[in-house]
Amino acid sequence: MIAEQSYWQRALRRRLSRRQALRMAALGGVSALTVGSALACREEGPAQEAPPLVGPGPQDTTFEARPGGTYRAITTQDPPNLDPYLNTSFVIQTFIGGTVYSRLAKWATGPGIEPLSQAVGDAAESWETPDGMVWTFKLRPNMKFHNKPPLNGRNLDAEDVKTSMERFLARSPNRGIFQTLVDRVEAVDPLTVRFTLKFPYVPFIELMASPQLLWLFSKEANAGQIDTQKPEGVIGTGPWVLDKAQPSVSWEFTRNPEWYEIVQTRRGPQRLPFMDRLEFLVIAEYAQIMAQFLARNIHVFAPRNEDLAQIAQQVPDAQRLPGRPAWLLSFYYFGDTNDPNNLFRDPRMRRALSMALDRDGLIEAFGQASRLRQQGFEIETGWNNTPVPWGDGGMFWWLDPKGPDMGPAGQWYRYDPAEARRLLQAAGYNNQEITFNFTTTIYGTTFDQFTEAQIPMLRNAGFNIRPNPQDYSSQYITGTFAGRFSGLAYGYQTPFTSVDEYLFNMFHPQGTRYAQSRPNDQELLRLLEAQRVERDVNRRRELIREFQRRASDQMWYVPSVMGRWGGMTFWHNFVRNWGSFITAGYGVYTETVTRYWLDLPEAAAR
């Protein structure tokens, strides 16, 4: 009882907006106590009209770019360590892996390019495969490590790549997908590395572009001669160099003056990144992040939808970009479903949980799509399937759970708490207490409020829920997210950048997220293996859609809809190339932000 009281004390301090509270109370989504507290929190004025977009919208202004300046953004938490091979946290993958280190390939960005649709070279200049089984990569000549001792700017070579894969396979929690694929790696010559797979695998280059797998380290680091857990040992070949680490305050980077990518500008050839420095302020509270944007201390802000009109009014010259959310799954998982004592071993329990969720009501309450459309904002919405989310980067593979192609499995997405209670009764559930595990703070206030709003829905459908909020670094990411828990868990899945990573990691026994529910389903394994070798993209898509039908029927993981509404990102009016080089996933500071430049007087930019 003490844990639940502390949970609600924290939840009430966060408080829903007045409009969200009213909507969720009508839906059965929050308690009367929470609604009353939220009503006391603030009164909202009449709906505001959205100001017109500033200027013509996103443009590729690379030719006009001027170098220099410092770009400031935020992170809600410090990285849990400094080696992206040793932890699955999005914080380290984004703010250390995605800045300092390179991959063999990366995702192309630019006007007209769909996110995660084209892999292009990063450390590799080119690659070839005759059969999908043997992949040969040619490295860029003069791809240099950062000019820090003991490497002092030496060139990347094939031994660095080979030993990186060896250390990744030995140490990384994400190694499962490569363990099933890679037979051997050879350094053919200093600039050539060859991967021989255990079977033909069509989307191998997508894994090489993944910003959470094979970051490239030096052979010295891979041999333990450099301590990759100390700031001075964070040495890669990526576009940014770690300059200053101040935990709980800021993480600061300088541009890598030797990074390979060169673009043409009016001033002549210019090596990316354009900006001199990249700084992340460590700020956990949403209100403080908003205040920093309004004060122009940070350059980018993605507000909650309820605050869009306010930001547009208070910063009328801000540039803003509407869009779909990233390809990200919020979901429930159940631990070891092979355990005979696990209540969720029975698919009726899992289906009941899915039918307890009012997905459209949640989207409307938190995304406020109808209200914002009336104000003139462009807002899209969608439901996640399992395991393929709705969002940028995955629309080609996604099957609409509400659409006619979903078939009979679509019934388990219907909001029907009465039917959920009947399923619980049929499963023999007898009101046993179920621990509900989740994390707070790390994903922001909206995520915390959204989690809170689902608890009464589960209770209304007959689940006896005991909330168990957890610290992200010490409990959730190291224990619950790894499948070590009892009861029920909820959170974000890793935002994988290829569809096979979602399927394999969540459903294959060697997948890095398999322990979250341990699904035992031979038909899903058959479909998984079939899509991995299918060369025809349309036939592969149908296999993946059939996978979603089967996975949804069994509900090994129950998808929720946190963030499945479009939103808007704001940049201050001096940031250029905003919205023109869009990616999804953890590679944003290589694939996107290297193209940003600051249209300020040169003295101010410096």
| Statement: residue 277 has pLDDT above 90 | yes
The length of the chain in residues reads 606
Full set of structural domains in the chain with CATH: 2-29+329-559 (3.10.105.10), 62-281+571-605 (3.40.190.10)
* Confidence label for 324 from pLDDT (cuts 50, 70 and 90): confident
| Statement: residue 108 has pLDDT above 70 | yes
DSSP 204-268: HHHHHT-TTS-----HHHHTTSS-TTSGGG---SSSEEEEEEETTTEEEEEE-TT-S-EEEETTE
* Confidence label for 58 from pLDDT (cuts 50, 70 and 90): confident
Total H helices, total E strands in the chain: 21, 22
CA distances (Å), 391 to each of 65, 388, 560, 564, in order? 31, 9, 13, 7
Q: In the prediction, which pLDDT does 30 show?
A: 42
Q: In the prediction, which pLDDT does 49 show?
A: 56
| Statement: residue 235 has pLDDT above 50 | yes
Helix (H), strand (E) at residue 196: strand 192-197
Residues 237-248 have pLDDT tens digits of 999 999 999 999
Q: Tell which wins on pLDDT, 46 or 387.
A: 387
CB of 147 within 8 A of CB of 232?
no
CB of 386 within 8 A of CB of 554?
no
Q: Tell which wins on pLDDT, 26 or 573.
A: 573
* Confidence label for 385 from pLDDT (cuts 50, 70 and 90): very high
Q: In the prediction, which pLDDT does 12 show?
A: 31
Residues 77-104 have pLDDT tens digits of 999 999 999 988 889 999 999 999 999 9
Residue 535: which residues within 8 A CB-CB, separation 6 or more? 132, 202
Mean pLDDT on 102-122? 93
State the amino acid at position 158 in one-letter form. A
Q: In the prediction, which pLDDT does 547 show?
A: 98
Which residue do the tokens 């070590």 mark? 484
Q: How would you write 542-564 as a 3-class SS string?
A: HHHHHHHHHHHHHCCCEECCCCC
Print burial letters for 389-401: b (CB count within 10 Å at least 16), e (below 16). Answer: bbbbbbbebbbeb
Q: In the prediction, which pLDDT does 369 show?
A: 86
DSSP conformational letter for 388: S
* Confidence label for 197 from pLDDT (cuts 50, 70 and 90): very high
Q: In the prediction, which pLDDT does 23 show?
A: 47
As a whole-number percent, the residues of the chain with pLDDT over 90 amount to: 77
Mean pLDDT on 462-469? 98
DSSP conformational letter for 376: T
CB of 212 within 8 A of CB of 174?
yes
* Confidence label for 602 from pLDDT (cuts 50, 70 and 90): low
pTM of the model: 0.81
SS3 195: strand
SS3 67: coil
Residue 113: which residues within 8 A CB-CB, separation 6 or more? 582
* Confidence label for 394 from pLDDT (cuts 50, 70 and 90): confident
SS3 24: helix
Q: Tell which wins on pLDDT, 121 or 118.
A: 121
Q: Do the strands 240-246 and 192-197 form a parallel or antiparallel pair, or are they unpaired?
A: unpaired
Q: In the prediction, which pLDDT does 52 show?
A: 53
State the amino acid at position 82 in one-letter form. L
> Interior CA angle at 280 toward 277 and 283, to 5°?
160
CB count in 10 Å sphere of residue 424: 23
Helices (H), 87-225: 90-92, 98-100, 158-171, 176-179, 204-208, 219-222
> Residue 252 is encoded by which pair of tokens?
């600061």
Phi then psi for residue 522, to 5 deg, are -65, -35
Q: In the prediction, which pLDDT does 48 show?
A: 54
* Confidence label for 11 from pLDDT (cuts 50, 70 and 90): very low
**How far apart (Å, rounded) are the C-alpha atoms in residues 497 and 327?**
8
Q: In the prediction, which pLDDT does 294 show?
A: 97
DSSP conformational letter for 565: B
Q: In the prediction, which pLDDT does 16 show?
A: 45
Of 5-19, 200-214, 390-404, 586-600, the least confident: 5-19
Residues 406-464 have pLDDT tens digits of 999 999 999 999 999 999 999 999 999 999 999 998 898 899 999 999 999 999 999 99
Residues 132-165 have pLDDT tens digits of 999 999 999 999 999 999 999 999 999 999 999 9
